[in-house]
Amino acid sequence: MDFQQLIHSRESIRNFNPHKPIGKETLERILEAGRIAPSAANRQPWRFYLISTEKNLAKIRSCYGRSWFMDAPHVLVVAGKYSLSWMRTSDGYNSLETDLAIAMTHLVLAAEAEGVGTCWIAAFNADELKKSGLFEKDEHIFAMTPLGYPNEGFKKNGLKNRKLLREVVVYL
Amino acid sequence: MDFQQLIHSRESIRNFNPHKPIGKETLERILEAGRIAPSAANRQPWRFYLISTEKNLAKIRSCYGRSWFMDAPHVLVVAGKYSLSWMRTSDGYNSLETDLAIAMTHLVLAAEAEGVGTCWIAAFNADELKKSGLFEKDEHIFAMTPLGYPNEGFKKNGLKNRKLLREVVVYL
């Protein structure tokens, strides 16, 4: 599958088979895509938490109370530290969120390439997550996604509701 | 080229042939990858500026004074508006930088898939760019990259200096 096919086929999946965990090698290929992502000044200010045990999944599910989220056999949480990322001296811009978004994009697309469903979640309750005790105190919890395979018979939506190219591109 | 090959082969390119512009269809495939990128609540708060005329390139080159940057036949600038992007009510987090980083990652990887070199630049002088008069006043200029083909004989570095998987992944 080439890159254009990959990004056109990816969509947010909200249907997971709780009884079909992802194999170790597949998970490692997905995580590898986050590991080699570029970051400002190559600081790699990230940590990827792969939560797969029932005990730990139970600790984080309250942060995002959708029923389909409860079904996912894995949840991947991307976190990082502002103290590790690059800062632009001219205006104090810190690259952490940008770096983590690049890594998360790599992870999501690598999952798609493996046939693994994802749904980038930003609307989680960060306080609930912190209370789980699974993360370091000074870590910024940036984003999460379930990882898993859809239930049998699930069909992708196949639609992309996007602005037209001429609405978003300016040729100068 | 599959996704793993693509992300492993991508690297920052600082060598451009000024006499070899990119064809229209190739540019459109690259821009399409930005257009269909996901964003929080599908807000698509972005605009992609493709600067290719000598007159307009001259207006922005002072924002990043590297000699190799001067050689690029195109510069792509990714900008957006905080008023258009999603906001998390619990803590006021605005998704603009995240959304633009996702789009930029799509653009950079789509360029790689086309054999087009990129170098994600964050260390530009935003004030100089604003002075160019090419962008809207309330736009946040997020990132830019040259787009072009390397000079003949150029070889990629081929090295990825990254932390090990066990340094960045936590299995829970």
Q: Which of B160, B122, B138, B144 is nearest to A96 (CA)?
A: B122
List own/partner pairs for A115-118 with CB under 8 A and 24 or more apart. A115/A149, A116/A22, A116/A26, A116/A30, A116/A147, A116/A148, A116/A149, A117/A13, A117/A15, A117/A16, A117/A146, A117/A147, A117/A148, A117/A149, A117/A150, A118/A10, A118/A12, A118/A13, A118/A76, A118/A145, A118/A146, A118/A147
Contact B98 A95 (CB under 8 A): no
Q: Which of B112, B145, B162, B93 is nearest to B3 (CA)?
A: B112
ipTM surpasses cut 0.95: yes
Percent of chain A with pLDDT over 70: 100
pLDDT tens by residue, B93-125: 999 999 999 999 999 999 999 999 999 999 999
**Is B113–A53 a contact, with Cβ atoms under 8 angstroms apart?**
no
Counting DSSP H helices and E strands in chain B, the numbers are 7, 4
Query: Nearest residue of A to residue B167 by CA position?
Result: A47
Average pLDDT of the segment spanning A50-65: 95
Q: What is the DSSP letter of A151?
A: P
Angle between helices B96-113 and B24-35 (to 10 degrees): 150
Note the pLDDT tens digit of each residue in B7-28: 999 999 999 999 999 999 999 9
Which residues, in sequence order, are bridge partners of residue A141?
Answer: A79
The parent domain of residue B145 ranges over: 3-168
Taking contacts as CB-CB distances below 8 angstroms, the residues of chain A near B10 are 38
- Residue among A4, A160, A163 at smallest CA distance from B25: A4
Report, as an integer, the average pLDDT of A90-94: 91
Q: What is the CATH number of the domain that holds A107?
A: 3.40.109.10
* pLDDT confidence of residue A22: 98
A134 at interface of B, judged by CB pairs closer than 8 A = yes
Question: Per-residue pLDDT for B128 more than 90?
Answer: no
- The arithmetic mean of pLDDT across residues A102-123, rounded, is 98
Tokens standing for A114? 């493996």
Number of domains in chain B: 1
Please state, in angstroms and rounded to a whole number, the distance separating the CA atoms of residues A163 and B46.
10
Task: Provide the 8-state DSSP code for A171.
Answer: E
Q: What is the C-alpha separation between B137 and B133, in angstroms, rounded? A: 9
